[in-house]
Chain A
């Protein structure tokens, strides 16, 4: 159960205007990794390398035990890949695509495909060119899911979907995980849904992995501490502070290493803790990115 499904070690790739800088990450079987980054941060490049579509300049990549890109053909039998710009044949129907995919993948589950058609409210006889963006995404996802791949790699699967379609898609993704041998790697800039369904979270910015953590740990450790400091006394030093906002007497500290001891530490130094606020994943991501960019301007 705890076999590694994805292992990237020091993976780099240089383009004229972009450098993917030594990405190392691991994902064990049965879990969901949410991969968050701004536009152009390197999400899609990382995913293309994972899929063997782009060859890394250096570093090693193993997916389901297969070195990539060398064994990509074998690996892909067990990977379902859906990307935002997935192209299906416009002139063909969804049913044609289903037959086509079924003919190549022996694990294709016909009954499940039919169920997905109904759940996603799609019509098999409809031509792809007549589908809306949301329907295309759902069609691509159906084609990937019904193959029952051990690993799903999804590049922004819910971008551009309406709230109802997004819920259907997320619900379907999570039901896949009833089977603990299956794993999901997905990128998104919708932090709310990443927060909802991920076990692990990775932040990428400017080609670098800036955080890789269990979601619950990440959410537990980041806090905004609102203090009242008496005139004349200094701001208490607390661990992991990455941002100080507010005023001199009423500072607000953002820390990435909060623990309950921080409260007594502040009070020992004469400051009053007025509040400790939890942060959403979005706030954590933005604070993390901004603090790194300040330390290391482009």
Chain B
């Protein structure tokens, strides 16, 4: 049984708790701290560690299962999915989903392509402060 501390850190101002758990688990898989096939804490274990309700953790695990990142075997526990490859790819699928959704919404609202691009740019500006220090890139030189 996995008994080590989960080291997931929740913040009261960091948005929905289940979302924070999902994001941090994804990051853990992305950077390779959790590898394919590794056992992760059970739902009740993690709920106890984080002092959050079982239902919140369950929801996070369900979302991770739907994304194909973890598998839960009844009576055995939860594991990182066998085929998971670490790396930023884990977020790519999610990104693609959000972009499609944005494009669809834009279309229903009758926005032009230009408008949508400028909205994305605006969103980038707005989240600028929240982002981690960016890696130096060609543009910034």
Contact = CB atoms under 8 A, between A and B. Distances in A.
A267 B54 contact: no
A170 B12 CA distance: 15
B53 A198 contact: yes
Contacts of B53: 32, 196-199, 215
B44 interface: yes
Given A32-B54, A174-B51, A177-B47, 10 more contacts: A30-B54, A174-B52, A177-B48, A177-B54, A196-B51, A214-B55, A216-B18, A216-B56, A264-B108, A278-B16
Contacts of B108: 264, 267
Q: How many A residues are at the interface, by size bracket?
A: 20 to 34
A177 B44 contact: yes
Nearest to A201: B53
B64 to A, nearest CB: 15
Q: Which of B12, B17, B51, B108 has the most CB of A within 10 A?
A: B51
Nearest to A194: B53
Contact of B45 (A178, A198, A278): A178
Contacts of B47: 174, 177
A285 to B, nearest CB: 17
Interface in A247-261: none
A27 to B, nearest CB: 13
Q: Which 3 A-B pairs have the closest CB atoms?
A: A199-B55, A175-B48, A174-B51
B54 A219 contact: no
B70 to A, nearest CB: 19
Interface string B33-75: 0000000000011011011111110010000000000000000
